């Protein structure tokens, strides 16, 4: 009996331990989970501000040190506007990390607003903060001390021309640089080298100068007699060809001597027989050195050079003096030669200049495309609009904010009597390009009855009828939802058609898009029309639509 009791007691104790172990396991699991689960909180420094003041909205995240946290970005705090997002402040304790980020928010309309829940992504999972209510109060205005004035009319301002002048300056700078390089390397009269200066000397002076240089050379000292006699005979033969007009360079020794004797017998060259005989001996010695590898005495080589110098002098003295007609013909020839060289320089410079332009144009076309280069050089109305300094402005009430290449101007609208019963106020702002079809307009309508709901289809039908009244044909219509970057939803009506353009009787293929917003008591529209297949207009329209912000309260 006792043994059986002890066994029963051990079973109870074992069951107790199992229950204890199970509870401990549950506790550890809960504790471990609480340690790894991220914690997200949000708070603001004040719940009441005046118009234009700022609220510091702070998001605090406690998570594991290895967690990846993505904070809200951009305008996700609507209806409040984010002014600035400060850097993330990080602190770490053991295996836990605390991240804190502060956003500066503001609002320019009075009323009670709610900051919506903000989504944070932590390790790929979504976590949301609580929504917070904020009151925005008006600023008291002393209307007794300060007089009230009417709204001033719009003032036209001069168009900014910084970008065109920059382009013109770069183009002119490139042309001037190219012209400077052509002048420096082609047209400029460069300093003459020593060889060029010698080549410009008269044949007689050049021959004596080259003979003097040969006398001071090292050919004889280095036993280079072949080179010495080759240069010696070349000097005298070239002189005879240029000054005595004897074809000496391609003549053999006997042929050259025969030609000199014929000129002497004809009275055109007054040389004595002794001079011709000495010249023949020098030429024969040169032939033996060049072809038979004969090595003369040093004194003989020096004496032959001196003899050639005497022959050059005697030949120059024996030549008849040129007549005035010959001098004039020579002068004209030199002028014609100089003019020909100058003309050749200008031709080379022109070819280089236009060749550089053609190569640059071809490279630009290959990189940017023919259409872009053509539109850049000759201009394109919508391309110029796209590259202008854009304007971000707010129009009408309820306000519509968007970016446009040009400021939209207020249009004078006269409501028909039947429309005045349902419409309290209609404001319209528009811009129309002077060339082409590009048009942007914004309208804001306030109904007489604050409970009236807007009818987007009716407004769209009226706009399409106005297109047809202005001559448009074959208009197609499609509709889809439209959402701004801040989350405001609207309706987009778009399509194609043939439209009339200023100063033309022909219809052109065009596109249009109407973005409609609204709420109780009001409606807002943004209308854009442009030429079909106009890539620059497509970029403008996309940028305008991405910038739309509306107030629907």
CB 117 within 8 A of CB 126: no
Omega within 30 of 0 (cis) for the link into 12 = no
Please say which residue of 318, 333, 358 terminates a domain: 318
pLDDT at 266: 81
Q: Is residue 516 part of a domain?
A: yes
Residue 262 sits in a domain of what CATH number? 1.20.120
Which of 198-212, 438-452, 470-484 comes out lowest in average pLDDT?
198-212
Average pLDDT of the residues in 339-359: 82
Between CA 125 and CA 180 the distance in angstroms is 65
Q: Is residue 517 part of a domain?
A: yes
Which backbone phi and psi does 244 adopt, to 5 degrees? -95, -5
| 296: nearest Cα among 374, 277, 307 | 307
Element (H, E) at 257: helix 253-265
469/537 same-domain check: yes
124/216 same-domain check: no
413/362 same-domain check: no
394/532 same-domain check: yes
| 88: nearest Cα among 117, 63, 106 | 63
pLDDT at 31: 37
For 306-340, give the DSSP string.
HHHHHHHHHHHHHSPPPPHHHHHHHHHHHHHHHHH
Residue 454 in this model has a pLDDT that exceeds 90: no
Residue 255 in this model has a pLDDT that exceeds 80: yes
Average pLDDT of the residues in 331-338: 72
411/545 same-domain check: yes
Q: Is residue 166 part of a domain?
A: no
294/326 same-domain check: no
Q: How many CA atoms lie within 13 A of 27 on its CB side?
A: 6
Q: Is residue 182 part of a domain?
A: no
541/403 same-domain check: yes
401/499 same-domain check: yes
370/474 same-domain check: no
Between CA 80 and CA 99 the distance in angstroms is 23
407/539 same-domain check: yes
Please say which residue of 269, 299, 318 terminates a domain: 318
Length of the chain: 553
CB 245 within 8 A of CB 262: no
Give the pLDDT confidence of 182-201 residue by residue, as tens digits.
877 777 776 667 666 666 77
Six-digit token string for 511: 């596109």
Six-digit token string for 305: 């050079």
The residue whose two tokens read 């051990």 is 10
pLDDT at 453: 84
| 436: nearest Cα among 394, 517, 375 | 375
pLDDT at 227: 92
Average pLDDT of the residues in 219-237: 90
Identify any residues that bridge with 102 across adjacent strands, giving them in sequence order: 58
Residue 437 in this model has a pLDDT that exceeds 50: yes
Q: Please list, in sequence order, all residues whose beta carbon lies within 8 angstroms of the beta carbon of residue 97, skipping any fewer than 6 positions away.
A: 62, 63, 64, 65, 67, 90, 91
CB 400 within 8 A of CB 484: no
pLDDT at 6: 43
**Owning domain of residue 393:** 381-550
Between CA 471 and CA 501 the distance in angstroms is 10
Which of 101-110, 148-157, 284-293, 455-464 comes out lowest in average pLDDT?
148-157
Confidence of residue 17 (pLDDT cuts 50, 70, 90): very low
Q: What angle do CA 141, 143, 147 make, to 5 degrees?
A: 125
304/264 same-domain check: yes
Exposed, middle or buried by CB within 10 Å (0-12, 13-18, 19+), for 288?
middle
**H helices of 125-246, where?**
162-182, 194-199, 203-215, 225-243
Six-digit token string for 243: 């000054």
407 secondary structure, DSSP code? P
Give the pLDDT confidence of 274-312 residue by residue, as tens digits.
888 888 898 999 999 888 888 888 888 899 899 999 888
End-to-end Cα separation, the chain, in angstroms:
87
Q: Is residue 154 part of a domain?
A: no
Please report the sign of the dihedral spanned by the C-alpha atoms of residue 315, residue 320, residue 321, residue 324.
Answer: negative
CB 62 within 8 A of CB 68: no
Between CA 256 and CA 279 the distance in angstroms is 10
Omega within 30 of 0 (cis) for the link into 398 = yes
CB 425 within 8 A of CB 448: no
Per-residue CA distances from 517 to 242, 481, 551 (Å): 96, 11, 9
Between CA 92 and CA 61 the distance in angstroms is 12
CB 40 within 8 A of CB 61: yes
Between CA 255 and CA 232 the distance in angstroms is 18
Residue 58 sits in a domain of what CATH number? 2.60.40.740
Instruction: Write the Ramachandran bin of 103: left for phi over 0, alpha for psi from -120 to 50, otherwise beta.
Output: beta
CB 353 within 8 A of CB 361: no
Between CA 404 and CA 386 the distance in angstroms is 9
Q: Is residue 178 part of a domain?
A: no
Quote the number of domains for the chain: 5
Give the pLDDT confidence of 351-393 residue by residue, as tens digits.
888 888 788 778 777 776 666 666 666 556 778 788 788 888 8
Q: Is residue 171 part of a domain?
A: no
Confidence of residue 272 (pLDDT cuts 50, 70, 90): confident
Average pLDDT along the chain: 80
541/528 same-domain check: yes
Q: Is residue 149 part of a domain?
A: no
Pairing of strands 81-85, 89-93: unpaired
Residue 13 in this model has a pLDDT that exceeds 60: no
């Amino acid at each position: 009996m006792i043994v059986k009791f002890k066994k029963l007691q051990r079973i109870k104790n074992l069951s107790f331990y199992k229950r204890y172990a199970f509870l401990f396991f549950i506790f550890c699991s809960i504790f471990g989970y609480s340690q790894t689960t991220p914690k997200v909180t949000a708070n603001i420094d004040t719940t009441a501000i005046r118009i234009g003041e700022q609220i510091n909205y702070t998001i605090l995240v406690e998570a594991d040190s290895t967690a990846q946290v993505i904070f809200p970005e951009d305008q996700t705090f609507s209806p409040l506007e984010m002014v600035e997002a400060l850097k993330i402040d990080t602190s770490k304790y053991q295996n836990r990390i605390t991240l804190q980020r502060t956003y500066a928010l503001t609002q320019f309309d009075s009323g009670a607003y709610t900051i919506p829940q903000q989504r944070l992504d932590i390790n790929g999972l979504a976590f949301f903060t609580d929504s917070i209510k904020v009151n925005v109060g008006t600023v008291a205005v002393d209307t007794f001390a300060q007089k009230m004035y009417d709204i001033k009319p719009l003032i036209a301002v001069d168009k900014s021309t910084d970008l065109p002048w920059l382009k013109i300056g770069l183009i002119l700078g490139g042309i001037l640089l190219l012209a400077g390089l052509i002048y420096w390397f082609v047209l400029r009269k460069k300093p003459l080298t020593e060889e060029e200066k010698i080549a410009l000397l008269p044949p007689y002076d050049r021959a004596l100068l080259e003979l003097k240089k040969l006398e001071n050379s090292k050919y004889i000292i280095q036993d280079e007699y072949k080179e010495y006699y080759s240069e010696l005979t070349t000097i005298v033969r070239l002189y005879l060809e240029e000054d005595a007009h004897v074809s000496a360079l391609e003549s053999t020794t006997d042929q050259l001597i025969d030609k000199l004797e014929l000129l002497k017998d004809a009275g055109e060259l007054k040389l004595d027989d002794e001079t011709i005989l000495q010249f023949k001996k020098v030429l024969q010695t040169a032939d033996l050195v060049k072809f038979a590898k004969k090595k003369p005495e040093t004194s003989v080589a020096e004496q032959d050079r001196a003899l050639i110098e005497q022959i050059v002098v005697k030949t120059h003295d024996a030549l008849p003096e040129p007549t005035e007609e010959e001098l004039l013909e020579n002068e004209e020839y030199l002028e014609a030669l100089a003019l020909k060289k100058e003309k050749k320089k200008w031709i080379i410079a022109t070819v280089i200049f236009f060749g550089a332009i053609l190569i640059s144009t071809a490279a630009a076309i290959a990189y940017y495309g023919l259409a872009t280069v053509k539109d850049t050089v000759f201009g394109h109305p919508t391309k110029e609009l796209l590259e202008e300094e854009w304007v971000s402005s707010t129009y009408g009430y309820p306000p519509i904010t968007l970016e446009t290449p040009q400021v939209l101007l207020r249009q004078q609208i006269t409501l028909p009597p039947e429309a005045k019963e349902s419409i309290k106020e209609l404001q319209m702002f528009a811009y129309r390009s002077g060339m082409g079809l590009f048009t942007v307009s914004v309208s804001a309508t306030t109904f007489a009855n604050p409970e009236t709901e807007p009818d987007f289809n009716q407004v769209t039908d009226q706009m399409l009828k106005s297109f047809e009244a202005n001559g448009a044909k074959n208009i197609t219509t499609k509709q889809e939802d439209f959402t701004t970057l801040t989350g405001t939803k609207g309706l987009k009506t778009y399509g194609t058609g043939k439209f009339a353009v200023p100063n033309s009787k022909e219809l052109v293929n065009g596109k249009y898009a109407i973005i409609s917003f609204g709420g109780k008591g009001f409606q807002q529209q943004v209308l854009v029309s442009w030429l079909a297949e106009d890539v620059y207009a497509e970029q403008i329209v996309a940028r305008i639509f991405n910038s739309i912000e509306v107030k629907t309260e």
